[in-house]
Chain A
Amino acid sequence: MIQAQVKKSLKGQQGDFVLDISINIQQGEMVAIFGPSGTGKTTFLRCLAGLEQPENGMISVFGKVWFDPIKKTNLKPQERKVGYVFQDYALFPNMTVKRNLEFALPANNNRNRVNELMELMDIVDLENRKPDTLSGGQKQKVALARALVAQPQILLLDEPFSALDNETRCNLQDEIIRLQKIFGITCVLVSHDVSEVYKLAQKVFVLDNGKIKESGEPAKVFSHGMTSGKFRFTGELLEIENLDVLFSLTVLVGNQIAKVAVMPSEAKSLKAGDRLLLVSKAFNPMVVKL
């Protein structure tokens, strides 16, 4: 189990606040830290990785203490077995894809690891390319491979796909699920995207102003209490159109387009780009075998 208690004063846009959270993560689990910008999500990841130091707390990973001010323990980032994937890829621009991966390999490690990972992730064709010749999706795939090179105990994913288009994002989410199954690696995902958390995480911690407001299974936490609505999807609002006394919403759910009719009072508070939860009862959908 990973136990992380982190306390640290932060400066926010709306004034100073204290990041004060304590979470336990089971081995092999993917948990998400969810919340708006500036609530301390990234700081928490950076504290796990040793890039920042909490003022107080304790971090222990599978029985080994990484941080404990009482015992004066504070492992350096390179001593913590952590893979970190950033939103902006953070690849070395002057190195080829393969060099980027090799650079992350600990000195005494088997170089085959790099080739195996490139094959597993289907990026062998890119090995001699420099990052600036790659698409956003390819860059993030390389960054993900690089984070896995050193066989980390925890994979930290900081808004990893938020700069990518929807299709690429979906593909890379599938890739994460596949890799997590293969390596059984414990992952901590920071995201403000409900559908991403829904898809990837087994457990979500909702962070607000530095504190955990809610935690649990994403389906439960994001159901807004409507657990009896069994047909539940999250999507992005693309368009609102007037239909007689009702309004029609065009919603992108995964890569499918859905249409929903709502009352004017509901449409009024919505705008294109909003994330929506669509809820219906288990009795409603008709089913056709494909």
Chain B
Amino acid sequence: MNKLFGRICEIDSNSHLSLVNVLSGNQVFTATLLEIPESAPYLKINNDVTLLFKETEVSIAKDFRGTISLSNRFPAIVNGMERGKILSCVYLQHQNNEIVSVITTASLDRLAVRNGDAVEGFIKANEIILMEGRWAE
């Protein structure tokens, strides 16, 4: 699972759902949660949290144009790859963090991903879990 450490910078909620923005480095990540500050006291501006998301939920685009509904879009450099028959692993350097993406090998070939390429990573807001505090191994 990918883990990014950050700080809550914005919260928007209705009676059950919250949209939480977390600043990690100088990138804002957005998570939709089925909890609200009243029932989950850790949802507070400036609180430290860890963003958790699966590698298989990170998409990659190259030379991407146009708009997209995905909330989380971040620039990264390809820092390594591991090729499997069906699925492949792409290691992305994003600021000081490594974010891992697992995509199909067919997509890896279609995008002609190479080490050192500048790409964009995408994560859906509802795929991100927030954890209180900093993840301890």
Contact = CB atoms under 8 A, between A and B. Distances in A.
Q: Interface size class for chain B?
A: 20 to 34
A100 B82 CA distance: 64
Residues of A contacting B: mostly = loop
Nearest to A242: B84
Nearest to A230: B34
Interface string B77-121: 000001111111100000000001010000000000000000000
Interface centre among A227, A261, A262 (most CB of B within 10 A): A227
Q: Interface size class for chain A?
A: 20 to 34
A263 B33 contact: no
Interface centre among A224, A228, A245, A283 (most CB of B within 10 A): A228
A227 B52 CA distance: 12
B102 A246 contact: yes
A164 interface: no
A226 B85 contact: no
Contacts of B28: none
A283 B102 CA distance: 20
Contacts of A261: 56
Interface in B58-92: 82-89
Contact of A282 (B34, B40, B42, B130): B34
Contacts, number: 61
A225 interface: yes
B25 interface: no
Interface in A231-290: 243-246, 261-263, 266, 279, 281-284
A226 B88 contact: no
A284 B129 CA distance: 12
A85 to B, nearest CB: 36
Contact of A245 (B88, B127, B130): B88
Nearest to B83: A245
Interface centre among A243, A245, A261, A266 (most CB of B within 10 A): A245
Contacts of B34: 228, 230, 281-283
B35 A228 contact: yes
Contacts of B132: 225, 227
Contact of B35 (A227, A262, A266): A227
A12 interface: no
Contact of B100 (A225, A228, A263): A263
Contact of B129 (A229, A243, A262): A229
A282 B82 CA distance: 31
A287 to B, nearest CB: 15
Contact of B126 (A225, A243, A244, A281): A281
A270 to B, nearest CB: 13
Nearest to A283: B126
A226 B84 contact: no
A229 to B, nearest CB: 5
Contacts of B86: 244
Given A263-B100, A283-B32, A228 B82 contact: no
B136 to A, nearest CB: 9
Nearest to A263: B55
Interface of B: 1, 31-35, 40, 42, 50, 52, 55-56, 82-89, 100, 102, 126-127, 129-133
23 contacts: A225-B133, A226-B131, A227-B35, A227-B42, A228-B31, A228-B33, A228-B129, A228-B131, A229-B129, A230-B34, A244-B85, A245-B82, A245-B87, A245-B89, A245-B102, A246-B102, A263-B1, A263-B55, A281-B126, A281-B127, A283-B32, A283-B126, A283-B127
Given A228-B40, A246-B102, A263-B102, 12 more contacts: A227-B35, A227-B42, A227-B132, A228-B33, A245-B82, A245-B83, A245-B88, A245-B102, A263-B100, A281-B126, A281-B129, A283-B126
